[in-house]
Amino acid sequence: MVSLVIKDPKDIKGLHHKRKKFVKKVTIPDDTTLQGETRELNGAVKRIETDKISTWTPLNIPQGAQRKTIISEDSRVEEIGLGLQNRNSGQEIVYKTSHKPLDLNPTEEDERGEYDEVFYDMDSMETDSDDEEFGVPGAFIIKNSHFNELFLKSLTLEDVPNHGKIHFVCNSWVYPASKYKSDRIFFANQAYLPSETPESLRKYRENELVTLRGDGTGKLEEWDRVYDYAYYNDLGDPDKDEEFARPVLGGTSEYPYPRRGRTGREPTKTDPNTESRIPLLMSLDIYLLLPEFKSLFDSTPNEFDSFADVLKLYEGGIKLPKGPLLKAITDSIPLEILKLLNSDGEGLLKYPTPQVIQEDKTAWRTDEEFGREMLAGVNPVIIGRLQEFPPKSKLDPKIYGNQTSTITREQIEDKLDGLTVDEPLAIELSLPHPDGDQFGVVSKVYTPADQGVEGSIWQLAKAYAAVNDSAVHQLISHWLNTHTVIEPFVIATNRQLSVLHPIHKLLLPHFRDTMNINALARQILINGGGLLELTVFPAKYSMEMSTVIYKDWIFPEQALPAYLIKRGMAVEDSSSPHSLRLLIQDYPYAVDGLEIWSAIKSWATDYCNFYYKSDDAVQKDSELQAWWKELRKEGHGDKKNESWWPKMQTRQELIDACTIIIWIASALHAAVNFGQYPYAGYLPNRPTLSRNFMPEPGSDEYEELKKNPDKVFLKTITPQLQTFIGISLIELLSRHASDTLYLGQRDSPEWTKDQEPLSAFERFGKKPSDIENQIMQMNGDEKWKNRSGPVKVPYTLLFPTGEEGLAGKGVPNSVSI
């Protein structure tokens, strides 16, 4: 073992900041480089690099010595002990070390504390022995004796006798040692299957997993390193008001749901099954602001009067008057959350122009664009081939009556001539039957019209369809099918696969920040009264509805080819690329998606086949089997009895499972996430609420529709307040952070020591640029008209490499926003 003990904050000279410290890289001993990063609140990263500091050589220590602390004569050095574990013999070597504070020359900006994360250095060591008998270090322990946590990026040992460099990729906050019951350990970057672990490391490997699993009790604090499961029992706030009570999701057949990470907070007073929420001040309670916002818009009571009115949001902005509202906002909301409302602190609400109206302000209203967005918009994963006519419902007719579609052949027959796949033929809207569900629904069918009041009715029908699609998109395509279903994989991987396990190394980049963003979502988005309920039409029933859809979630069908076949959008065809023939060839999401899917699959195949030479090796891998079992029984425990789960007995099953996990976390999420602002940042194109029934001939509304169709349209869809909240939110959610890693990238070239996987990863890393070339070429070819459409927004949502901000392209490795 190598242990590194930092004893006294005085030895750590750095830039102090009240919140966080950041160590980018520590290289020991020669040419030691310390790098720090400072991150501005807007995500920009500033780098600082320091001088080299010191050297080390091993010191002879008798065999069998335990970890030791050696005090240097150098007065600046308190106590630092460094020991090496001989992987072969278990011998432990301790090094004498010293460290020299660095001259960091903090910049003026740093001193002003404008940065969220600031540089903090960690000192290195000097030893004075030339012993060459020690073995190769396999892990080190670090004890942080500061009062504050630090972020340890990596550790590199250079000139290890008979070995050369050894890399430890850490990427972890290290809290003060007093916070931990067991030592913080970091392993070298060599992967081992459990049975191949060197004897001297085995105990540490197993103990670390035990630590990470925790004991299932108590409230987990920020520094606790425990991955455990819990139901979604933290969405409601019944202590606040009955209105904010929400059912527990997960653990029942009525509300099945994937598990979330356990936090262990106290139950609420009102309901022992509901977990209490993080105190108000630490999160945004948008409800507090609602009355204020409402009063603000009393002059034009909560409505946009015209499309020109809507466009002001992007051109010039809307200024909140100075006064109590603005003061309340700026005083009471943390800066990060204030950003959510896109305010500059002076009360100006101004948003970037969404791509869908950048080139043409009205093309979004065409039928062609409406249809195209089902193939290349923000929710291109719902469209399916009609396989029976009229379409039948799967709802139980005993409970829900006759739900069969009322669309007739006559209604669409005359539109089939000259049919193009991207134009809608009919929209059927249904309302609950006034006499009860058992009587079925009241349905009405609308067909395209572009003139007069019929044209206005058709525009409204498309808006109602878009409102439904918006909710399906946010709740199902986005939240449930990416964010939620991945979290159990994150938890199971951390609990059951050691960081030494090759599959842990394979999947780790695809789990980055997922639990964080999901925790934030439970705090302010999907909670009772949260932003999602405010902005999508199912309101307080939103999450309950997503549990109904989870009942039909099938893991193997999340594979893109299987999914396309299931929806009738493709058929198997061995003569086509990817052995799949798309029934709509100009289906941008599927075309680009299949390229990415294939790249991921080749990579997973190369990687898994290196470590597993046979199916037998898969079956005999104790950690892998425990991982898969727990994933099914606990993480997706409400689906544990499903027969479709892969049995994880063959290499192919492992490859397929890893491909699906990586696909969901990267490309599937990117396709449904980063188009939010480009398409839905302009609410008329993707409205989230409908507030009025369709005007019927003879009514006042119908007469108004004749006179002022735009006003009726805007009075029907999402009102002003929800528009502000909605576009503020999706503007944030559509951004890439500056430190995002895209598909084919990893944060350290030292992530593994094994050469063949490194070469395979290099091949995988070259695929994105090939895919990008193909996308650019197709986007520029008018033959593929669905790739840009009337709004002239080229399809780049699956363009692998992105850039910071609202790029509208880029496939990050993980679900992190």
- Choose, from 673, 685, 786, 813, the residue flagged as catalytic: 673
Question: Distance (Å, rounded) from C-alpha 380 to C-alpha 374?
Answer: 5
C-alpha gyration radius of the chain: 29
Question: Distance (Å, rounded) from C-alpha 140 to C-alpha 83?
Answer: 8
Helix axes 588-611, 367-376, angle to 10 degrees: 0
Q: How far is the CB of 778 from Fe ion (least distance, A)?
A: 26
Phi, psi of 324 (to 5 degrees): -60, -35
Query: What is the dihedral angle through the alpha carbons of 657, 658, 659, 664, rounded to the nearest 10 degrees?
Result: 90
The amino acid sitting at 794 is P
Question: Distance (Å, rounded) from C-alpha 253 to C-alpha 323?
Answer: 51
Which SS3 state, helix, strand or coil, does residue 371 take? helix
> Tokens in use for 655?
């490859």
Contacts of 712 (CB under 8 A, 6+ apart): 456, 460, 695, 701, 704, 705
Query: What count of other Cβ atoms lies within 10 Å of the Cβ of residue 297?
Result: 16
Q: How far is the CB of 671 from Fe ion (least distance, A)?
A: 11
Q: How far is the CB of 444 from Fe ion (least distance, A)?
A: 35
Q: How far is the CB of 789 from Fe ion (least distance, A)?
A: 24
Query: What count of other Cβ atoms lies within 10 Å of the Cβ of residue 433?
Result: 16
Which SS3 state, helix, strand or coil, does residue 609 take? helix
Report the sign of the C-alpha dihedral through residues 216, 222, 224, 226, in that order.
Answer: positive
Which SS3 state, helix, strand or coil, does residue 119 take? strand
Query: Does residue 390 have a cis peptide bond before it, meaning omega lies within 30 degrees of 0?
Result: yes
Q: How far is the CB of 817 from Fe ion (least distance, A)?
A: 5
- CA angle (324 as vertex; 319, 325 as ends), nearest 5: 50
Question: Closer CB to Fe ion, residue 124 or residue 673?
Answer: 673
Based on the residue annotation, tell me whether 478 is a catalytic residue of this protein. yes
Report the sign of the C-alpha dihedral through residues 654, 511, 529, 241, in that order.
Answer: positive
Q: How far is the CB of 685 from Fe ion (least distance, A)?
A: 20
Question: Closer CB to Fe ion, residue 38 or residue 518?
Answer: 518
Based on the residue annotation, tell me whether 736 is a catalytic residue of this protein. no
Do 734 and 809 touch, CB atoms closer than 8 A? no
In DSSP terms, 117 is beta-bridged to 39
Report which secondary-structure segment, H or E, holds 328: helix 324-332
- Choose, from 17, 473, 478, 636, the residue flagged as catalytic: 478
Query: What count of other Cβ atoms lies within 10 Å of the Cβ of residue 283?
Result: 18
Question: Closer CB to Fe ion, residue 456 or residue 673?
Answer: 673
Report which secondary-structure segment, H or E, holds 659: helix 651-663
Q: How far is the CB of 517 from Fe ion (least distance, A)?
A: 7
Helix axes 720-733, 286-296, angle to 10 degrees: 130
Question: Closer CB to Fe ion, residue 378 or residue 570?
Answer: 378
Question: Closer CB to Fe ion, residue 483 or residue 651?
Answer: 483
Question: Closer CB to Fe ion, residue 3 or residue 673?
Answer: 673
Q: How far is the CB of 733 from Fe ion (least distance, A)?
A: 6
Question: Closer CB to Fe ion, residue 496 or residue 514?
Answer: 514
Question: Closer CB to Fe ion, residue 34 or residue 534?
Answer: 534
Closest CA to 119 of 211, 32, 219, 34: 34
3-state secondary structure 626-658: HHHHHHHHHHCHHHCCCCCCCCCCCHHHHHHHH
Question: Closer CB to Fe ion, residue 673 or residue 814?
Answer: 673
Residues that bind Fe ion (CB under 5 A): 673
Report which secondary-structure segment, H or E, holds 399: helix 397-400
Helix axes 709-716, 452-472, angle to 10 degrees: 20
Q: How far is the CB of 646 from Fe ion (least distance, A)?
A: 26
Query: What count of other Cβ atoms lies within 10 Å of the Cβ of residue 634?
Result: 17
Q: How far is the CB of 815 from Fe ion (least distance, A)?
A: 6
Contacts within 8 Å (CB) and 24+ apart, 287-292: 287/529, 288/332, 289/328, 289/329, 290/721, 292/324, 292/325, 292/328, 292/329
Question: Distance (Å, rounded) from C-alpha 199 to C-alpha 205?
Answer: 10
- Choose, from 99, 167, 473, 483, the residue flagged as catalytic: 483
Q: How far is the CB of 478 from Fe ion (least distance, A)?
A: 6
Which SS3 state, helix, strand or coil, does residue 712 take? helix
Report which secondary-structure segment, H or E, holds 703: helix 700-707
Question: Closer CB to Fe ion, residue 469 or residue 653?
Answer: 469
Name the closest residue to Fe ion (Cβ). Answer: 673
- Choose, from 17, 167, 669, 736, the residue flagged as catalytic: 669
In the block, residue with structure tokens 């963003």: 517
> Tokens in use for 720?
């002003």
Query: What is the dihedral angle through the alpha carbons of 446, 449, 451, 454, rounded to the nearest 10 degrees?
Result: -10
> Tokens in use for 16?
């102090």
The amino acid sitting at 601 is K
Question: Closer CB to Fe ion, residue 560 or residue 668?
Answer: 668
Question: Closer CB to Fe ion, residue 134 or residue 663?
Answer: 663
Based on the residue annotation, tell me whether 483 is a catalytic residue of this protein. yes
Q: How far is the CB of 526 from Fe ion (least distance, A)?
A: 12
Question: Closer CB to Fe ion, residue 499 or residue 668?
Answer: 668
Strand ranges (E), 296-368: 318-319, 348-349
Closest CA to 773 of 743, 801, 732: 801
Q: How far is the CB of 674 from Fe ion (least distance, A)?
A: 9
Q: Which residues are catalytic?
A: 478, 483, 669, 673, 817
